[in-house]
Structure 1
């Protein structure tokens, strides 16, 4: 019988972390059997790519020993392994870039972080129009196609003067599940990577901090929510501007390029009062 060697606090932590993921799966119709097969694939992929000895590809037997996945399943899953891309889908990364240019570059903003409403057509606004904005980022995509999609997603609106207004301070689609799922995948993955690194590596830890209270009123929570929305967004905009400036003047060779993610989040839920236990004689 194999005796687990992991820290006893790890499984309860994983159980707690997985609860919202399971909630999402149940709400979207993903069953245990479907996810269990996906989880087998992930165990095999990670063992194969990250747990090599002397940089040699591990055998099916070694992967089976590491993961607990049956050797027959290991062989089957390795034959269809395709790896995982870190990049956001092209339509999402393009949208994020376009919003960043609108937010931080003249003539599309009054100052960094203050996007201007843009004339829809180049015939009315020239290079400072929405047509000009899309052309600055890509000559291969028609501005009308982007505009129609962004109207659908709730990212922009058009006023009665035919000007396009940015309705969000970042590329955060309001109505497109596929686009929101892409950010869910990207952001939660990178946050988890930072946390796992801090738990398992001896190198310098990644910055990962939070503030938490458990006895606030609804009014206080709303005040904090608004503060995070306004001030937190300004912090991210400043980081975005710094990253854009650094990227423009610091061009490393392709093999030395690194990607970064900087995140900020807010969460609240009801906090049931603790059940008071009856005191026993002699307790205080």
Structure 2
């Protein structure tokens, strides 16, 4: 066993099965881009790991439903890896499933976010001095945490675009708190596309389905070739999507109102180069 797979065991030192070990190894290879997105957005391990507990709880419930097994605390705990205290807490608080909007109310709030919240709640000026005993950025941070250094919090808020420095002043950028409807809408669409893409591939691997899930890869290319391939991809997608949308509209019209019209269809395409 090489060093990379050696870390994919259980905490008690026992080995995972080959299926579990290889699955975990490949999932870990998928996650970095998601972690990159979260870190760029100011989401850390604490917030993510808390949210993951509910995801594992939900998926364990779904699997027990699939195999028609009784949903006891022990069974949910065994499948999800959560301790029974967490399972019982979810059952008592949410019932069978944890809804995403319910979960968001329970997530821990990071220190930088709490500092911003205190700034707004206390109605401090949009520009405050970094140092000082009262109404300064340092004093604001100390109200929230005695462990985090004010300079570190300042750098994090600057990285996220929430504040800027002007001389000795820290200036709140209110525009960054306003909702960007275009970005928000894309954030809703993107996870649905990715989720269905993953669902197609995972079902192909685990249930021998035959969903279309393919990609074309080429390397050792010049930028000129990349530009031409990108344009060709875009042109072909426009032709294909036009035909598919037209067909989908017709099928929706003909199927509307029929008893078994309870299915959905999604076809996606992506292009990436580096």
Taking structure 1 as the reference length, the TM-score comes to: 0.58
In the alignment, the residues of structure 2 paired with residue 6 and residue 83 of structure 1 have an alpha-carbon distance, to the nearest angstrom, of 33
Q: Give ranges in structure 2 of 5+ residues lacking alignment.
A: 1-11, 102-179
What's the CA shift string for 1:104-146, capped at 9, x where partnerless? xxxxxxxxxxxxxxxxxxxxxxxxxxxxxxxxxxxxxxxxxxx
Root-mean-square deviation over aligned CA pairs: 2.3
In the alignment, the residues of structure 1 paired with residue 89 and residue 260 of structure 2 have an alpha-carbon distance, to the nearest angstrom, of 33
The match for 1:198 is 204
Q: What is the total number of aligned residue pairs between the two structures?
A: 180
What's the CA shift string for 1:230-278, capped at 9, x where partnerless? 2112211211111111111123545641011100110111xxxxxxxxx
What's the CA shift string for 1:187-237, capped at 9, x where partnerless? 0111011111111113x3201111001211111111111111121122112
Contact 1:44 1:74 (8 Å CA) reproduced? yes
Q: Give ranges in structure 1 of 5+ residues lacking alignment.
A: 86-173, 270-284
Structure 1 residue aligned with 2:255, among 215, 239, 250? 250
The match for 2:271 is 266
The match for 2:238 is 233
Structure 1 residue aligned with 2:195, among 189, 196, 201? 189
The match for 1:77 is 90
The match for 2:76 is 63
In the alignment, the residues of structure 2 paired with residue 53 and residue 181 of structure 1 have an alpha-carbon distance, to the nearest angstrom, of 30
Taking structure 2 as the reference length, the TM-score comes to: 0.60
Describe the shift of the 1:53–1:195 C-alpha distance in structure 2 as closer, same or farther (beyond 3 A).
closer
In the alignment, the residues of structure 2 paired with residue 84 and residue 57 of structure 1 have an alpha-carbon distance, to the nearest angstrom, of 24
More helix by proportion, 1 or 2? 2
Shift of 1:51: 2.4
